[in-house]
Structures are given as structure tokens and as C-alpha cells.
Structure 1
Amino acid sequence: MSTAIINPFYAARISRNHRIRRDEPTQPVYARLPMAPRNASPVPHLTSLYHFHRAGEYGDRKWPGNCGGNLIKDLLRYFRPGLVFDPMTGSGTARDVCREIGVPCISFDIHEGFDACDPRQSPAAESFDFIWAHPPYWRQKLYADDPRDLSRSPTLEDFLRRYGQFIRNSARALKPGGKLAILMGDYSDRDAGYVPLVYHTKRLAFAAGLAQHCTDIIRFSHGASSSKKVYRSSFIPGLHDVCMIFEKTR
């Protein structure tokens, strides 16, 4: 994938009297991202800005909150783990990626009765080299009918309490030097206002004894269902989510 990444958006036409014509978009305007420095990375295009407009043949895009598997694949190619754990597997995106590149993977989901936030169901300590997690962004999108699902948390405080337990479970399940990758996004909630879930993720991870391993990866949200909607209110749209990589220190 080229480092000259294109992110198109439409500019509004301006008429002679300087009134904006929002119903007549011009030709696309393109933003060119910075060139990445050369280094010994096995995945040179994996940088802090991640663009991949094709989801790939992984998982099922019809599932709520499903993300493409290309970022997962690039992370696994970079870190080269021995055993991967996906405690919120959804339609099986991470599992499909692991199968394709030949990495052993154990995956569970709340649809199968597995509660990743329950310490009694947590795997044995120091079992995994890499954990991939794409939790619900609180109640932005409801995921499962099970009341234990994070997206069904009645309040932000309840969500953060159980989310923090999930991160502690993950920290315990990692081998020393193991990595926990969490894909999370902020959003504006109808009642709670702006919810900075990326900030809370880092706060909870540090409290669990994990350290941030590298730069955040800003993933462009190509194909997000919200991008096709029209809203009556005025706001600054979020077009990305954030993948954070934490490490269990040795």
C-alpha cells in the first residue's frame, strides 16, 4: 500500500453571491498524508495513520460494529505472536485473519455465553502473546441482547467499571512482554455528552499495570454506517477510531 494515502471528501460549491450550495458537490478534494520514514519494520505501511478502504474477506460486515481485518493482519505480521486471544470475536474477523496467516488463535464471544468482563471466565494467567479487542463503544451501537454485554451498560460508570475489569482480565492473561491491542472510538452520547473512551481506555490500562508500547494508530473509518446518514444537528464528525497497543512489562 502506498504511503501517499488518499482520503476524499466533497467541497461545497460557492455561487456568485457567496452562498454555499450544499446540494452540488464539486470534484473530490484529496488530502495527502506525510511520508513515513524508512526503518526495519516488517510492515512498512503500518504507521500512526492507517488507511485501508477495503474491509477484506474476514468476518461478516453485517455484524454490528464489525471492522475490517487488515489492521489485525498487519499488527500480527509486525509483532509475530505465538498465540492470539480474541475475547470479543463477533463474526470471527481476527480468527479468520489468524487462520489465513497461520497463527494459532483462541476466540470467544458473548453470543456463545462467554463474558469477557467476568474474572471467573478469564483464561489462565500468562497464556497469550497477543490479545486483540474491539469492545463496544458503550451504547453507540447495541451489540448483543445479553444484559452482560458492554453495550447494554445502563450508565457510563457501569460501562467503565466492567470495561476496567475486562482490561485487568486481559493483563492477567498476557505473558510478560505480551501485547494488548484495543480498537476504541470516542462519540457523542445522547444523554452523557461527549464520551472520551480512548482516554478512559488508557486510564484503565495504566491502572491495570500495562504500559503503552508504541504510538496510537489512527484508523480511518471507511465504510462506517454513520457516514451515510443525514443529521439535522450541527457537529464535527469523527472519521476515525484509535488502536492502542499496551504491553505487559517484564
Structure 2
Amino acid sequence: MNKIIFLALTSLILNGCSQAVTTPPPIPKVVELPKVDSKPVTIKAIDWSKIDKPNNLIVDNFPKKVTQRYQIDDVMMQAVMSDSKVSKEQAMRILAIQGGVQDEGVLQGLFDELGEDLVAASWGFATPDQKGIRKADKPVSDEEAVRDYRLFIMTKPNVKAEIHHYVFTSSDAKDFSLPIQILPTNNRSADESVAIYGDQKVSKEITILIRNKYRGELQSIGYKPNNQTTNVTIFFPEGNPSQATLDKLEAELESLTSLDISIETTPSRNTQ
């Protein structure tokens, strides 16, 4: 009897295995992916012919008789030498070209060309990869000042990244050249960022977060061109927290505002 039951079970097992092997696999259904109506991004290029003036491309970026060409405020010159760490001659050139972009309408021309795609303008030195702005942390040679010091124009991503060499023709900077670098690095204009953190509700939430959770006092908030972020300056009466805590606060502020945030601490309270 047991032998019969054993044979019957064996038969069932074998039949089951046979059926499992010979049963064809199910035919998978064809899944149609949703169609994406992708539109190509239109890249805006600056029409430099509306900004440049006819010139003979005489470029003298190492002025030797610069003091005979125009008057330079000594206090301003010393400030540029200290901040940019350049020679007296290059400080004079920098002041001349900074005035020249105003006098020859270069900035206004750029602003007119870019419209709402403009984020901010800033002076500084190019990073080695030519993709950002850096401050001089050591003395800068004349060659380096001429090559790397420039006017940076931060824009929205749909603007063409480029470096254009503008030659001055009519101002005190006549015959000097200036690299103008377009950095399409920001999704929002400075005004759009201000509209976010300047909103009364958001501003209050930022202040409460810093004060109640991190025991700090908000001192200032604003767009900072050199690192292209919204800069938040905080005073901590009990001493600065660890870098890990600052990183956590920065992440929370970014989540709260949807802005790229950079935090700076200050050793004293703003009394103004």
C-alpha cells in the first residue's frame, strides 16, 4: 500500500516538473512610454556690434605714463592695490577701465542686450579653469592682472558663455582692452532672488530658523556675485558652531528658500 502511494506521489511530482518545463513563458506586454514633447533650448548670444565702437585695436594694458592721461584718486588707488593685490600701474588701469565701462555705455549696452536674463555684474579675477570668479589671495603680477582681471556678467543658463575683449575708444581708458566674461550660471536673476528672500513670510521663517534652532542672529542677506549665491551673514552670540552644524543650517535654508545659499559668520553684531 505504501509502495502504491509512493509511486503515485512520484508520478505527480514528475508530471509537475514536466509541465513546468514545457509550459511556455507568458508573452510580455509592450509598454508604451509617454511621449515627451521636448523643445530645444534657444541660446541667446550677445550682439557685440551694438556695444563695440569702431576701433583700430590698439591695446596697451601695461601703461607707463598712465598718470599723465587722467587724474586718479590716491585713496581709491590704494584701496584697489590692497584689495586686488596689484601694482600701482595696474590699479590705475583697473580704475580707468571701471570708469570706462560707464562712460562708454558698455554696461548699459550689456543690460539692454540681456534684459531679464541678466543676473548680476561683478569685477574680479578669473579662476584657472575660466569658469568662475576668484579674489586675489597673493600679489598679482602685471601679466596676470591683464590676463585674468575682468568684468563678469552672470546670466541665466540660456545665454551663450563667452569671453569678449572690449577695446576702449573714447574714455580715460582709451586703447586699453577689457575681457568681458559671460557666466550663464544662475537660474534666477538677482531681482527674482530678492523677491524670494525679501518676502515678509519667508524672511520671518529664515529669522526664526536661525534664532530658535541655531541660536544665531541674522545680520544680512543678499546676492553675492563672486560665489554666485545668496549670502546669509549670521552672528552667533555664544560662539560659532561647528562646520557640520553650519552645513546643516545651509541645507535647511536652501530647502526653505529654494536658493543657493552660502553662510558667513561675523564676530560682532550689526548695530545699525
Place the TM-score, normalised by the shorter chain, in its bin: under 0.3
Give the TM-score taking structure 1 as reference length.
Answer: 0.27
Structure of greater Rg: 2
Q: Compute the TM-score of the two structures, normalised by the length of structure 2.
A: 0.25
More helix by share: 2
